Amino acid sequence: MVFGAPRIEEAEIAEVEACLRSGWLGTGPRVAQFEQDFARWRGVRPSQVAAVNSCTAALHVSMVAAGLEPGSEVITTPLTFCATVNAILHAGLQPVLADVDPVTQNIDPDAIEAAITPRTRAILPVHFAGRPCAMDRIMAIAERHGLVVIEDCAHAIETEFRGKPAGTFGDFGCYSFYVTKNVVTGEGGMILGRDEEHIARARILALHGMSKDAWHRFGDKGYRHYQVVECGFKYNMMDLQAAIGIHQLARVEQNWRRRAELWQRYDRAFADLPVGLPAAPEPDTRHGYHLYTLMIDPARCGMERDAFLDAMNAARIGTGVHYLSVPEHPYYQQRFGWRPEQWPNAMRIGRQTVSLPLSPAMSDEDAERVIVEVRALVGRQG
């Protein structure tokens, strides 16, 4: 069983074939449609979104478009994929880590407040596993200190906090359409912005810094000259990717409901086991149900996390680790002198966490096989 295998249906396959036959594979009309569909679904104007080739690109471009001066500090979570921190570095900024809440596993607003210095210019919260961060408190901190907020919504396309979608609180929201995510284009991302001028700049930055809608230069009306107005990046999404995303987005609610069913099934099946389960969603929020994470604490269940991973792999069930905390990695230790013990909650979670398969492509039989194997492993140890 492949971890995070996407559910691809005939509509995506037919759209990709039509795209191939059209001869227009690069950035073009299907990307424009995908942007319009996404904007409509999130309740914003098309001029407030820009499709790019990854969430990492979205984060990088957002920080550049925000005009944050080089060397400024950006506060983020230590419990995230390396791309979050790398994007900060690529933008010429300094990452500062603030520990997570041990229950929600999201960045702790009190830790954000404690990490602010005169050099702080932005907060980059990550809605971990599909659970919304405490955006009321984070936005209050940002407003009090005059900080930019860039939301990492890689896990949180469907997520809501108090009736409002994740990614629409801050100055920017950045989404992922990577192959394991809730809407899939293979590789891909989207920037959603409060300020249309910022998004217009992000769009230019994502395509070499070329003037607006440079892909029109090959249109029906003949060649149009473009102008390079910034030193941009090669971050544009292709129509070939958008061809998949258009139909994935059309089924986003259906797929979310299936993941919710699987999540609840896991909750019931593992309730009596000596493992840590994900906390229940907070009231007045909508969980994206992206990652179902077990905490394998050897003191409770008598088994090391890595032994659990190995046993699941031997049973041909794909699992993941989301995530070893950022300061566990040698590059950041060498560059910044970080040690995991400085962020104890993230360190403990990172050393105990296992993500189980959770995909709308899974059958009931697939889910039962996961449950039987987990119960056999942990029940035997416990």
Amino acid (one-letter) located at 272? D
In whole angstroms, what is the distance from residue 56 CA to residue 376 CA? 38
- List residues bridging with 96 in a β-sheet: 75
- Tell me which of 181, 212, 221, 234 is the catalytic residue: 181
Cβ atoms of 42 and 91 closer than 8 Å: no
**Helix axes 252-270 and 364-381, enclosed angle (nearest 10):** 30
Q: Residue 46 gets which letter from DSSP?
A: G
Q: Residue 108 gets which letter from DSSP?
A: P
Cβ atoms of 3 and 179 closer than 8 Å: no
Tokens of 80: 């995230």
Q: Is 181 part of the annotated catalytic residue set?
A: yes
Give 364: exposed, middle or buried? Use CB within 10 Å, 0-12, 13-18, 19+. exposed
Closest CA to 369 of 381, 356, 352, 360: 356
Active-site positions read 181
